[in-house]
Every structure is written in C-alpha cells, then in structure tokens.
Chain A
Amino acid sequence: MSIEQRLRIKDEISRNHFKRAKPLMVLGATSGAGKSLMVAALCRIFSDMGYTVSPYKSQNMSLNSFVTKHGEEIARIQDLQARAARREPRSHMNPILLKPIRDDVSQVILYGVPYRDMDVDTYYNIFIPSRGKEILEDSIGFLKKTNDIIIMEGAGSPAEINISDIEIANLKAAEIAGAPCILVVNIERGGAFAYLYGTIAILEQAQQKMFKGTIINNFRGDPGSLKMGIEKIEEMLKLPVLGTIPHMDVDLPSEDSMDISNDEKKGLYTVGIVRLPRISNFTDFDALGLIENVSVKYITEPRDAKNADILIIPGTKSTIEDLIWIRETGFEAAIKDLHGKTPIFGICGGYQMLGKQIIDINSIESETKIIEGLGLLNGCTSFDKYKKITTQVEGHLQTDPLKRRIRGYEIHMGVTENKIDPPLNRVRVDDRNRDEGSYDPEMKVFGTYIHGFFDLPPARELLMSLIGKQMSECKAPACENEVDGIIDENLDKLAKAVKESLDIEWIMDIMGVPE
C-alpha cells in the first residue's frame, strides 16, 4: 500500500470513528511470565462480553512471523492474540517487528513491511529516539479509534534499569496510551514475591504509580498456601493481587517455545522421550546427545511420537498415575501404533508400563490396585510391600557378544517378573549375578530398571543399530494440519480458566470500562 493510500484511509477513519478505547497494559516480571497468553485470554474474555478488542505490542523481537491478509508481516503471537479477540490481525497490533539476523543486527519490520537492517546501536540510539514516539502514537491512536478495549503487552521486564531510558516496549508505550499497568509473575521457578516487589520497587516513583495490580501465574498446588505471602506482598506494594492463575496444559504456542523450535539444530535421527507429567531421572538421556547425528526431544503430544526414530518411556515418580495419563492422553494408542515399526525402550517406570499388568493390592503407589500395562512385553510388576530398591549395578547387555561393561543404578518400588521374554542384561549386585530387564526377540521393545543405562557405549550402540535397521523400513509422513483446528478450542479453555481465577470486575474497574 502506498503512503498516499494509507494517509487517505487514516483520514477517513478519523472522520468516521470517535471511539476512545480503554487500554490495559500487561507487563511481565521476567520473559516467559505468561504475558502473551494472558493478553490472549483477556482478548477472548472481553470479546465474549461483546466488546471490540484489539491486542497490541509496540515492538516484538521474534523470528516467527505471520503474514496478514494484507500482506503485512507481524509476530505470530499477535496473530494468535488477534484470533483470541476474533479480529483480523493487522500491522497496527505490532507496528515494529525485529527479526534477529545475527548477533546485534536485526531486520526492522515497520508496519508489516521490511524497513531496513539495523544494529542494536543504530536502533536504540538513532531510530527509536527519532521515530519511536511517533510510531507508538500512530499505532495506538489508530487502535483507540477502532476499538472499545486495547490489551497491550510489554516486552521482557519493565525494570531493566540499565536500559530504561531507551526502551519503548513497556512503560513508555503504557504512558503514551494512558494505560494502567498490571504485572504478571511466573511462580514456577519460585521467587515470585521477590520479583513482584523488586520489579515495582526499583522503578521511579512516577512509574510505580502506573501499576494497579499484580497477577501470579502458572501456579501448581493449593492456592490457599499462598495466602500469607499474598497478604504480605499486597501490604508491601499497596497493590492488589488480582488473581492466582493455575498452571494449564493448553496446546497454544508460547512465544519463547516458538523461537526455540525455530533455532533448534536438527539431528539426522530423533530419540523421542515421552514427557510424562512425573518424569524422573531424565539425566539418563543426557548421554544420548553424545551420539553424532542424534537429537533428543521430549514429546508432549501423542501426534508427535511418530516423528521419533526411537521412542523412550522414561522413569517416573508414579508409574500407575503416569500410565493412566498415557492412556487418557492418547499416547497409548500412538505407542501401540508405532509398535513393530519404531523401536521402543522403557526405563524403570517406563519398563514397568511396557508389561502386561501392574498390581498394587496394598495401594503402595496409588489407589488403583490393578491396571493393565501397554502389553508390549510379557512382564508383570507387583508392589507387594513398601520396599524401595536402591542399588548400584554393573554388568553387560545380553545382546552384546563382547560383554562390555555397562553400569548404573536402580531406584524403584515393585518387582517385575517375566518368564517369557529374554532378559536384556546380566548384572552383578552385592556379589551375586542376576538377569535384569527384558526385550522381545524381534528386537522392537526393550525394558530395563537401570538408570544410567546409556552412560557407556554398549547400550548407545544397541540403540544406533536399531535406528540403522529401522531406517530401511518405510515411515508414514507427518501430518501437521490438525493443529489449526485445536487453537480456537484451546483459546476458549484458556479464557475460561483465567476468568475463573482472575478478578475481571476489578480489572474493568481499573480500566474504567463500564459494566
């Protein structure tokens, strides 16, 4: 679109629209605080209430861009937020997109169109001081005229005191929009109260006054346990905690994960580890990275399992609970589908799951007393009494004619009996030799209790020999179209959960939106 055309449209809009949207700025104490999805949730919540809503982020640094119907390039996350608001994504929602080209140099996309490549110095010391304010005023002004509500997103932390005078994505944008600010903190790694307090208290007085509330995000457990901390932080900051949002497993891309998947180096072969909710001892898989051309991926979606050349079910703190999870999430069907085509390993709890049955009559591990296993091996595991086996082991693979050493350690409750499948290892424990683990004679399924199984070369060589064998067999191509349809459903799920945990009326009050 030419500049003349753009100006004409802008003019027309100014004449025909007098709306003055109420803005709200969502800031994060760290990156990955969950701002992006919080903005998406608020967009959907207000859209459900009948308001015309737009997301906004003045400046986004991302390699993942999206092209709008009008051919404008914006960050993908703003596209997702626009969908949440049920709006057509437009470049005004993300007027500046920085796409890193190499260290210190980015391509600057302005209103969806490549502008030029700039190094950090030029961008922050020349471009932003001369053009920043005008770009923000323009884009925010446009959205104000065409919406009831604007949900703005900050970038990173607003308290980067070493660069506060040159950044425009956080408090500067809020100031231009006249937006009240709320601060979101991710409690997952702890330190939430310290980050809330530190972020606001380290700012100048005038900036502190822009904050109207805080949100604790990504909490696991009983929110009641936070009560004391919340009261104390409300008192210290003189600001309300507007909600504690529980951890959610929604299938929506976070901005960071989108960037990681983009940058990730691809190995020739992939070992997929099923990302069990109670996964334990995943240091076991560090050694797989020692194999050339192999990358290790943690798989969270059943549909991704088929992209792995080898699939591993790892150890877990609770075999039965995670087996139920495997069943309910559709991983069981995916694993059974791959059986015979893709070699499958089970380590410790994963090994127990591969068998026919797990019996826990005395409810030592869980309330479920008997549960069918995946049935890929013929073992049967029983938890007879509260006995935990913890021992170092040493031995060799039965499949290794050279009997080279493997070593590791066992940590488990329950004992597995398997009189049908051959044992995988011969190990020495307390000066006694015994068989350990099992595999099927077709060499498609393997199970062992040994943590550190892959630490030394023999087990890694076994794994590679299986990949070689398997690559000669044909694999179905991956299908990726299923993703799109799920997004809307997940946005609803997200909005519902946020609405239940957040004081929306208070937020409307902060924004001055009439009910």
Chain B
Amino acid sequence: MRKNLMFQSTLSGSGKSLITASLCRHLSNKGYNVSPFKSLNISLNSFITEDGSEIGVSQAFQSWACGREPCHQMNPLLLKATGNSATQLIVNGKPSKGFCSRNDNDRKRLMSIVYDSYEFLEKTSDVIIIEGSGTPAEINLSDVANMATAEMFEAPVIIIGDIDTGGVFAGLYGTYKLLERKHRDLVKGFMINKFRGDPSILSPGIERIESEIGAPCLGTVSYRNYRFPEEDSLSLGGPINPNPLGDDIRDVWLKNLDLFLENMGQEVDFGVLENIIDRGI
C-alpha cells in the first residue's frame, strides 16, 4: 500500500503549499524519509535544482522542509503563463513544446510522466505528501493535478478551506458537491485555514459541513503573517512578519516554518493525519 496524503483546496492561495510543507516537516522531524510532490504547478516563481532543472519554488521549499535537496521529480510539470493566453510547459525540469492538455493522448503522456516521477520518489521515501493545484471542482476543465493524481496514487484527500475571504462553508460544501462520486470517496477530512479570532464560534458551521460531507474537520489553523516563499502574484503586497530570524532567506523561511508548525501543532491533530496516512483510502 502506498503511504501518502494529499492536500487540495477550495481556492488557490488557500495555504496548501504551507500546510503541505508543515506536514512534511513534522514527519521528517519524526524520522521519516518524506518527499513533497505536486504533479502540476502553475506558477511564475520557479527554482533551479542542482542539475539545472526548473521546478516550482514551493516544492523546493517543501523539499528543504524535508531536509532534502530539491529534484525535478517533486514537480514534474510546471506551467508558466507567458501572457496573452500563451503558456510554457516545463516537463521534468526542462521547457517542452507540443503538449495540449485537452488532447487525450497528450494527457495520457503527461500522466505517465507524473507517474514515473512519483515512482522515482517513492523508492527513497517512507511517505509522500502531495499538493493539489488550484481547486478540484473546476467543472469546465479536465483535471490532471487534483483528483486524477489522487486517484492514480490512491491518496486520501484533505480539503483546505480559506476562511480569510469568507464563505468558507459554502466553498467546502460546493467543492465537495461538485466532485464526481468516486472522487468524493477519496475525501477523508477538511481543514479551515487563515482563521482570526475565537474558533469556537465556527462550531455550528463545522458540524453542518461534517454531516453534509461525512468527513471530519481536522483543525482550524490561525492566520499568521510568517515569511514564506509566495507562489502566486495574487498574494503580492500583503503584510509580513517583521522578525528576520537570520541572514539567509532560505534559513528564515525554514525557521518561520518551525514557528508555524509549533502553533499548528496546537490546532491540528497530527496524530489523526498520521492515522489517515496509515489507513490509506
């Protein structure tokens, strides 16, 4: 049985990358060999690995969180929008031309690249923490990065809702309801991220969602302005934590992650997440 867990979300920018990094860090701290994985990343912020491969900067960060050197298998597909509806697709760390995700054959080829990368990582990992891309409920798109990935690697899925912009219960409920039935069965829990205030006021809403989707709420994570690498231009301009904590920004990111993880440990039951990983789908 594969040992893995996947985070998906109701909106892009819900904090999947950070929560993925946190669980990676937590498991790595416990002595497991952990790898992050994101089959398809859509981002203009990329990182170059030791062998000159280009991957999303979030996977590099998650990899450091695992105490590993980043490699292109952690993010086999990277889509960079070049403007005017044009895009550049990076496959296995290198620019590639001539793929079209609407073409069934190309889609199969891309999925097999995703599969090979995952298999490569699995050889050196006890557990793989997978991050989805965007949201799984885009009913006008054929999805590679979310439920297709979860299905292929038999990954239990946790959906993250962003409460910062409001409507979090609607977002969780709608996302779940718009999934195909077989994909709904993969959803093993949900989390609420970026909350400010006293979480007890959320109880009536949380109970309602638990009963609607038949999966538990695994925690409510507080909003914190820590310093992490941003993936998305939508997040530009927000306030940041003034604590430098170091000279090298990569160290600072990891130290911030440790702080974040420490607080998150009070808000999320990591034991339950580990049980879900052990049980699988």
- A residues within 8 Å of B by Cβ? 28-32, 103-104, 156-157, 159-163, 188-191, 193-199, 201-202, 221-222, 225-230, 232-233, 260, 263-265, 275, 277-283, 286-287, 289-290, 292, 297-298, 317-318, 321-322, 386, 388, 390-392, 409-411, 452, 454-457
Contact = CB atoms under 8 A, between A and B. Distances in A.
B205 A189 contact: no
A195 B167 contact: yes
A197 B135 CA distance: 14
Contacts of B57: 281, 283
B167 A457 contact: no
B11 A190 contact: yes
Contacts of A199: 167, 170, 174
Given A195-B167, A280-B44, A283-B229, 9 more contacts: A31-B166, A162-B169, A162-B205, A197-B177, A202-B212, A229-B139, A232-B139, A260-B239, A411-B54
A28 B166 CA distance: 10
Counting chain A CB atoms within 10 Å of each CB, the highest count among B48, B138, B229 belongs to B48
B234 A290 contact: no
Contacts, number: 208
Contacts of B214: none
B240 interface: yes
B62 to A, nearest CB: 14
Interface in B209-252: 212, 227, 229-230, 233-234, 236-240, 242, 244, 246-250, 252
Contacts of B247: 290, 456-457
B101 interface: no
B13 A189 contact: yes
B85 A222 contact: yes
Given A226-B140, A411-B46, A195 B170 contact: yes
B111 to A, nearest CB: 21
A289 B45 contact: no
B202 A162 contact: yes
Given A194-B10, A297-B237, A202 B170 contact: yes
A497 to B, nearest CB: 19
Nearest to B80: A317
Given A30-B166, A390-B54, A194 B233 contact: no
18 contacts: A30-B167, A31-B167, A159-B169, A161-B204, A162-B205, A190-B11, A193-B138, A193-B174, A194-B10, A194-B137, A199-B174, A202-B212, A280-B44, A286-B249, A390-B52, A392-B49, A392-B52, A455-B248
Given A201-B177, A279-B44, A159 B170 contact: yes
Interface residues of B, number: 70
A233 B140 CA distance: 10
A392 B50 CA distance: 7
Given A201-B177, A229-B140, A29 B230 contact: no
A197 B138 CA distance: 12
Contact of A286 (B47, B50, B172, B227): B227
B208 interface: yes
Nearest to B50: A392
B201 interface: yes
B4 interface: no
A201 B135 contact: no
Contacts of B197: 103-104
Contacts of B236: 275, 279, 282, 298
B53 A191 contact: no
A30 B139 contact: no
Nearest to A321: B83
Contacts of A190: 11-12, 134-135, 138
Nearest to A325: B83
A198 B170 contact: yes
Interface in B35-49: 44-49
Nearest to A389: B52
A160 B166 contact: yes
A322 B83 CA distance: 9
Contacts of B249: 286-287, 290, 452, 454-455
B16 to A, nearest CB: 12
B175 A191 contact: yes
Given A193-B178, A297-B237, A298-B237, A160 B167 contact: yes
Interface string B112-141: 000000000000000000000011011110
